[in-house]
Amino acid sequence: MTLSINDQNKLDAFWAYCVKNQYFNIGYPESADFDYTNLERFLRFSINNCGDWGEYCNYLLNSFDFEKEVMEYFADLFKIPFEKSWGYVTNGGTEGNMFGCYLGREIFPDGTLYYSKDTHYSVAKIVKLLRIKSQVVESQPNGEIDYDDLMKKIADDKEAHPIIFANIGTTVRGAIDDIAEIQKRLKAAGIKREDYYLHADAALSGMILPFVDDAQPFTFADGIDSIGVSGHKMIGSPIPCGIVVAKKENVDRISVEIDYISAHDKTITGSRNGHTPLMLWEAIRSHSAEEWKRRITRSLDMAQYAVDRMQKAGINAWRNKNSITVVFPCPSERVWREHCLATSGDVAHLITTAHHLDTAQIDKLIDDVIADFNLHAA
C-alpha cells in the first residue's frame, strides 16, 4: 500500500502543523507533555477491549490485564474497595457521564435528572439520548449549583428519586458542587440515601483533588455513586479517553451476556480500543503520587500567578478553590481567537495544564489581554 506523492505531502504538512502547535493549548484542558513512544509498536495490532475486563473474552487481542490495573488504581484513588467497584476506560468524559446517568435511570426509571446551568453541554445530549426526565438548576455566580433552587425544583416536582449530576469542576468556571451540602439538604427534605443517585463529573478535577491538601468532597467515601474522569486532560493522551467508576452492585443491573464474543458487556460502546488502557496504565505506573502532586501544584501555582498578574493590572480575574481554570472578562474577538480561548457570554478563561513549564505563553496572553483592556478602557 503506497500513498501518492500529493497524499504523502499532505500527511507531512499535517505532521509539521502538529509539531508547531503541540503546546498551543491554553484555553482548553489538555496536557500535551506526554510521551508514549514505548507503546507505538502496539499500533500495528487491532486491540479491542469488547466485553468485561474481569471475564474471559473470545476476542484474544485485548488489553484487559492492563485495564484491570488501571481500574484498581482509580478505585483506590476515589476511595471505594476494588471488589465493590466496576468501571472501564471510556472514550472520554462524556461517555463516563452517560454511563453514570444511565445507571441512575436504570435504578430509578421514573426519576428526574437535576443538573446546573454550568454543566457541560454534553449532558443535554445525554438527556435526549436516554430520554430521561430532567431539570436545569440555576447556578451561583462562581459556577456552583444553586442549592436553594435545586431543592425547590425537587420539591415542586414532588420527586421521590432525584438523580443528581454534580460538577466536580465546571467547564467554564471550574466550580465544584458541594456534594456534602447536597446530601445534607436531601436528608433534611426527608429523602433517604437509598432513594437518590449521585453522579460526579470530575473530568478535569478528578486528577487534581486527590493530590491537594484541602480537597473538597468528591469520592465514594463522601457519598457518590459514580464518577467520570477524562484521561486526556490532566494525565495527557494522544487519543481522547477517560475512566468511569461505579458501584458494582449497580452496574450488575445492566450487564448483558453476548454469546457472539462469549462475554458479558456492561459498557456503553461495546467495542472499545485497547490502546488507551495501555496509555493510562503507563501513565499511572510511571508516576508516583508525589510526582502527580508536584505536577498539580505547579499547575495551581501557574493559575494563581495568572490571577495575580491580571488583578494587578485592574482586570477582574479569579479562580475557584483548587482550580486551574482562571476566569476573566472576555477580551476582543481578535485576542480570544489569536490565543484559542474558550469563551462563554461575557467571560473567557485560561487553563494552566501541565505542559506549561514556565510562564512564557501565559505572559504573552496576559500582555495581550491587558493591552486590549486598556485600549477599550481609554
Instruction: Give the tens place of pLDDT for each residue, 18-49.
Output: 999 999 999 999 999 999 999 999 999 999 99
Residue pointed to by grid coordinates 484559542: 340
- Which percentage of the chain shows pLDDT scores above 70? 97
Give the per-residue pLDDT at 116: 98
- The DSSP bridge partners found for residue 113 are 134, 163
Give the per-residue pLDDT at 266: 87
* Least confident range of 192-196, 225-229, 268-272: 268-272
Residue 57: band (very low, low, confident or very high) from pLDDT cuts 50, 70, 90? confident
d(CA 294, CA 289): 9
What would the 3-class secondary structure string for the chain be? CCCCHHHHHHHHHHHHHHHHCCCCCCCCCCCCCCCCHHHHHHHHCCCECCCCCCCCCCCCCCCHHHHHHHHHHHHHHCCCCHHHEEEEEECCHHHHHHHHHHHHHHHCCCCEEEEECCCCCHHHHHHHHHCCEEEEECECCCCCECHHHHHHHHHHHCCCCCEEEEEECCCCCCCECCHHHHHHHHHHCCCCHHHCEEEEECCCHHHCHHHCCCCCCCCHHHCCCEEEEECCCCCCCCCCCEEEEEEHHHHHHHCEEECCCCEEECCCCCCCECHHHHHHHHHHHCCCHHHHHHHHHHHHHHHHHHHHHHHHCCCCCECCCCCCEEEEECCCHHHHHHCCCEEECCEEEEECCCCCCCCHHHHHHHHHHHHHHHHHHC
Residue 339: band (very low, low, confident or very high) from pLDDT cuts 50, 70, 90? very high
The ranges assigned to domains in the chain are: 5-30+290-377, 39-285
> Residues 175-199: what's their mean pLDDT?
98
Residue 260: band (very low, low, confident or very high) from pLDDT cuts 50, 70, 90? low
pLDDT digits (tens, 9 = 90+) for 197-245: 999 999 999 999 999 999 999 999 999 999 999 999 999 999 999 999 9
Give the per-residue pLDDT at 276: 98
> Residues 138-149: what's their mean pLDDT?
98
d(CA 328, CA 348): 6
> Residues 284-309: what's their mean pLDDT?
97
Give the per-residue pLDDT at 157: 98
Residue 290's identity, in one-letter code, is E
Give the per-residue pLDDT at 255: 66
Residue pointed to by grid coordinates 459498557: 267
Give the per-residue pLDDT at 80: 98
> Residues 49-63: what's their mean pLDDT?
91
CB 225 within 8 A of CB 161: no
pLDDT at 344 over 90: yes
Active site (catalytic) residues:
323
Please give the C-alpha separations between residue 359 and each of 214, 303, 352, in angstroms, as whole numbers.
Answer: 25, 10, 10
- Residue ranges of the binding site: 120
Q: Is beta strand 197-201 parallel, antiparallel or unpaired with respect to 112-116?
A: unpaired
- Which percentage of the chain shows pLDDT scores above 90? 92
Cell triple for 12: 507531512
What is the architecture of the domain spanning 5-30+290-377?
Alpha-Beta Complex (3.90)
What is the architecture of the domain spanning 39-285?
3-Layer(aba) Sandwich (3.40)
pTM of the model: 0.95
Cell triple for 367: 500582555
> Residues 83-94: what's their mean pLDDT?
96
pLDDT digits (tens, 9 = 90+) for 307-331: 999 999 999 999 999 999 999 999 9
> Residues 155-169: what's their mean pLDDT?
98
**Average pLDDT over all residues of the chain:** 95
- Residue ranges of the binding site for substrate: 120
How far from each other are the two terminal CA atoms of the chain, in whole angstroms?
A: 62
pLDDT at 259 over 80: no
pLDDT at 158 over 80: yes
d(CA 103, CA 130): 11
- 80 phi and psi angles, rounded to 5 deg: -140, 135
